[in-house]
Amino acid sequence: MTDTRQIDGVTDAAAARAAAARLAARHGVPALERARLAATLGARLRQCLAEGGTWRLTLGVRGADSGGGALHAVLEPSPDASSAREGTRWETTVPLPAADRPGGTGTGDSDSDSDSDSDSDSDSDSDMVPGDDPAALSQALMSADADTALVLDRLAEQEALVAFHRDELHQTNQGVLALHAELDAAGRAQREAFAAERRARNEAENARRRLTFLADASAVLNTSLNHGEIVRRLPELLVPRYAAEVGIWLFDEEDDPHHPMTRPAATVRAARTGRPQYAADHPGGLRGVDDLPPSVLHPDRPLLCVPLLTHRAPLGVLTLSPPGERWDPDDAVMLIELTRRAGIAIDNARRFEHNRDIAETLQRALLTELPTTPGLSLAARYLPATHGMNIGGDWYDAFHRPDGSLITVIGDVTGHGLHAAVMMSQLRTALRAYAVDDGSPGLLLTRLHKFLHRLQPNLYATAVIARFHPDESTLTWAAAGHPPPVLRLPDGRVRTLDAKPGAMLGIPLEQEIADHTEQVAPGSTLTLYTDGLVERRAEGIDPGIERLSAALGSFGPAELDTDLEGAADRILKPLLSDSERDDDVCLLLCHLQG
């Protein structure tokens, strides 16, 4: 079915536009598509009227009976018009709904109508809009307005839908912005937490480093009992990690020419007040430290002056300059604590040195010269321990009795230090007093046992006493808890005198210490010693006694007669080569001339 129209003016154009709209409505084209077709065709018709001439509009429906047809419109210049121009032909196609039936009545002759070129077909009359019929045009215009109203309603629905989605999008955007704000706040909080954790970790590591250094430095200072070594090692510990320069002022070394006499005012103030002082051109902000102006002697660098305090009185002042521009406050606190510990270490070392000097003086006074006896040579050695007080309770003695006999003794008081040396002196004096009366070595030790138990119930001692008589060829000896004497015979054989000894002197036990007698011939050598010579922590005392016996047996027949002093040195050397020297060593050789 086709409809062809000649268009010479605006009335024909309006009728043609209305016919296209009615045809589309008749075939069920939706209002939106009808309005789009009418608007497009109207715009094209206005363009044709503007160009002028006669135009022909052909409308038709194709394939409507197959359920998928289309409305086809062609606008072109009229063939018989003189104003026809090439290239201005326009056409469009609008798909029909799949269930389309013309007029909604389901007539089945649409194919025959679409193939017919006749303008007089009865079905097409209903779509024809006469150009000179105002009522028909008005009706067509009203139909177009109805389509436009439908389009406007659809547009209003779409606008409402767009507004709804715009509100949803706005709310979503607000939620996204809020979420971003929360995420940003969470991110900032997490970054701040990480930063705080790093700071805490760094502070903990710095605190651990300071405590480790303080513990190590304190151990270094307290292991030495020489105050000069402590003063020397203190700058080595601090430079360059915690100080650029270190100065130590000890009050009792004012007369030392190696120490400067001019000192910063902060150092003098620290000595007078006993408080740490900080001299600089800026406040130090250090806890427990007084701020002072910069030093005139050192105006270009800060000074931290800390007194070396003890429980009695200040010993001096430690003056430090920082490794950089200034100290970290925590480092300064650590330095003040280290200075306090250094003062205590120096004070302890000085007190130890004082006591050691007294003990050594007492020991030298007690270790008197050995007596001279015809036919009997004596040689003695005393070596203090290399650790601690260097003084102990080991002693030896030899003296004549009124009957002409010679008493030799070697002993060891438990413990070390001044107290042990004093007790050793008392035992030595008591033994000499007891020996004035006639008494055997066992009886003398029994008396010493009672004396020590009553005088010092918590102090013990060991001893060996041997008696030589010029008119007799016998040796009488007795031991109380002491290592056994070793006897070298003239032929070079060595015996250990291991007869049953008494218990230690001073223990809470009543005892009578027995005497033992040995036949000795000229050329014999009796060796008395303390456990520091033969005892080792890892192996006990027996291997040491065996080494001592071997050393005695290694001498020739004449060596002990001619050089007993040298023999004593040659005995000590191999026996002390593996010793840690943590105990005193005492040796007494008694040689009968051959």
- State pLDDT tens for residues 244-289: 999 999 988 765 545 556 889 999 999 999 999 999 988 888 888 9
Number of domains in the chain: 3
**Sequence-ordered list of residues with C-beta below 8 angstroms from that of 245, at least 6 positions apart, any chain:** 239, 320, 321
Q: Are residues 270 and 333 in the same domain?
A: yes
> pLDDT tens for residues 171-213?
999 989 999 999 999 999 999 999 999 999 999 999 999 999 9
Beta strands in 440-519, from DSSP E residues, in sequence order: 461-468, 474-480, 486-488, 494-496, 516-519
Which of 83, 109, 132 is the C-terminal boundary of a domain? Answer: 132
Q: What is the pLDDT of residue 546?
A: 93
Q: What percent of the chain has pLDDT over 70?
A: 85
Q: What is the pLDDT of residue 260?
A: 58
Q: Which of 114-118, 323-327, 413-417 has the lowest mean pLDDT?
A: 114-118
> pLDDT tens for residues 225-244?
888 899 999 999 999 989 99
Q: Does the pLDDT of residue 555 top 70, yes or no?
A: yes
Q: Which of 437, 483, 486 is nearest to 464 (CA)?
A: 483
Q: Are residues 355 and 395 in the same domain?
A: no
On whether residue 103 sits in a domain, the answer given is yes
> pLDDT tens for residues 568-583?
999 998 888 766 666 7
CA gap 198, 207 in Å, rounded: 14
Beta carbons of 314 and 274 less than 8 angstroms apart: yes
Q: Are residues 429 and 557 in the same domain?
A: yes
On whether residue 174 sits in a domain, the answer given is no
- For residue 147, give both structure tokens: 């389509």
Mean pLDDT of 87-95: 84
Give me the CATH number covering residue 320. Answer: 3.30.450.40
Q: What is the mean pLDDT of the chain?
A: 84
* 335 alpha carbon, distance to own chain's centre: 20
On whether residue 188 sits in a domain, the answer given is no
Beta carbons of 594 and 523 less than 8 angstroms apart: yes
Core vs surface per residue 117-137: b (16+ CB within 10 A) or e = eeeeeebbeebbbebeeeebb
**Sequence-ordered list of residues with C-beta below 8 angstroms from that of 110, at least 6 positions apart, any chain:** 1, 61, 64, 65, 69, 102
Q: CA torsion 218→219→220→221, rounded to 10°?
A: 50
Beta carbons of 414 and 422 less than 8 angstroms apart: no
Q: Does the pLDDT of residue 131 top 80, yes or no?
A: no
> pLDDT tens for residues 301-337?
899 999 998 877 789 999 999 998 888 889 999 999 9
Which of 132, 149, 171 is the C-terminal boundary of a domain? Answer: 132
Mean pLDDT of 439-468: 91
Residues of the domain holding 324:
227-360
Q: Are residues 126 and 254 in the same domain?
A: no
Give me the CATH number covering residue 464. Answer: 3.60.40.10
